[in-house]
Amino acid sequence: MSAMFAVQFLSEADLAGVADPLLGVIAFGHELPVGLRAVRLDLPLRSLATDRPSCFEAWTCTGPVTLYEEQGFSLAAGDGLLFGAISVEAGPEIEAITRDLYTCLFSVIGRAGCPNLIRLYNYVPDITALQAGEERYRLFNAGRGTAFAAAGIDPRSAPAASALGTGGSKLRVYFLASSTGSLRIENPRQVSAYHYPQAYGAAPPLFARATIADPEAGQPVLLVSGTASIVSHESLHPGDVAAQTDEVMRNLHAIFGECGAQGFEMDEVRQLKIYLRRGLDRAAVAERLETMAAPDRMVWLEADICRPELLVEIEAVCR
Ligand code: 3EB
């Protein structure tokens, strides 16, 4: 049985009427509706979509869903899929907290029979602040790396991911995993994250540029990682949000171009999440995106990007 899932942005009214079983619902800076039977996660990020009263990210599947909790995670299992979310106080011990969180995550997905991660989302408080002389994002990477190594997981099998700053004091992570395998896509314009040089920290970030879930099935889905203005391993166009956006678009085109026979097209994007360090840049960035996706398929969020010089990061889901 191949896993079938979908993700879409919904208003509160649409969420109440959604037909397929919910795995999880993510709220960006809004209160989550009461009585939702799903994994629920609040992300304290400022939503920049002033023209939309409420907007939630809804993950659905086709079969019945079982909700449960384990090792601090809220979990939804169904259809050979496992959706999970966790929030933990981060504090100064961000490296150890991240290591322990990921160690629990690997244990939880293994016990559920869904060891194949499809997508990971990481939100780190004060992500670019210094902690005892080291950037907190680098400490996060160290903790994540230790947990991957301890679980015996090959860095090249890490799934698509995002890592952004967030308000509040908690480290928030959510994920989708499956019982079946998925395909990892790299970007020929960029050094693979797990091969970044030590200049970006002793432990490299662990993620693929994209995952294709269910490449064998009739309905493959492309999940593109947070994509920034990075070529090779270097940040380009510091201080120039328009040029950074154009560079992000070139990276997205390159990633889509790697999907070969699956034939994903950028005009098929069903979900586009745009993170801006400065909310004021929205108009300048929107102009560069042109008609990449209909407005109801886009969410604009104010968030710190993991390198201080980066002003914009974009992630996408296709089909
Ligand atoms: C980059 O390409 C930009 O640490 O999980 C993007 C997606 C980024 C995921 C992560 C980091 C991560 O290096 C930052």
Res 267: pLDDT: 83
The reply to whether 315 belongs to the active site is: no
Q: Which of 306, 307, 314 to mutate to test the pocket of ligand 1 (most atoms within 8 A of CB)?
A: 306
- Centre of ligand 1 to C-alpha 293, Å, is 22
Q: What percent of the chain has pLDDT over 70?
A: 98
Q: Phi, psi at residue 284, to the nearest 5°? A: -65, -40
- Centre of ligand 1 to C-alpha 205, Å, is 7
Res 2: pLDDT: 53
Calculate the alpha carbon distances from 204 to 156, 265, 304 in Å: 12, 30, 19
Q: Phi, psi at residue 223, to the nearest 5°? A: -115, 110
Q: Which tens digit of pLDDT belongs to each residue from 233-263?
A: 999 999 999 999 999 999 999 999 999 777 8
Q: Which of 122, 200, 207 to mutate to test the pocket of ligand 1 (most atoms within 8 A of CB)?
A: 207
Nearest atom (ligand 1) to Cα of 225: 7
Q: Which tens digit of pLDDT belongs to each residue from 172-207?
A: 999 999 999 999 999 999 999 999 999 999 999 999
Distance, CA of 89 to CA of 101 (rounded, Å): 11
Which protein residues are within 6 Å of ligand 1, measured from CB?
122, 161-163, 193, 205, 207, 225-226, 228, 230, 306
Topology classification of domain 5-318: 60s Ribosomal Protein L30; Chain: A; (3.30.1330)
Rounded mean pLDDT, 297-308: 95
- Centre of ligand 1 to C-alpha 169, Å, is 21
Rounded mean pLDDT, 5-30: 93
* pLDDT at 1 > cutoff 50: no
Interface TM-score (ipTM) > 0.85? yes
Rounded mean pLDDT, 101-121: 98
Helical axes 136-150 vs 94-111, angle rounded to 10°: 40
The CA-based angle 153-235-237, given to 5 degrees, is 155
Tokens for 210, please give them.
Answer: 């994209």
| Strands 116-125 vs 160-166: parallel, antiparallel or unpaired | parallel
Q: Is 174 helix (H, G, I), strand (E, B) or coil?
A: strand
Within a 13 Å sphere around the CA of 48, how many CA atoms are in the beta-carbon half? 20
- Centre of ligand 1 to C-alpha 20, Å, is 31
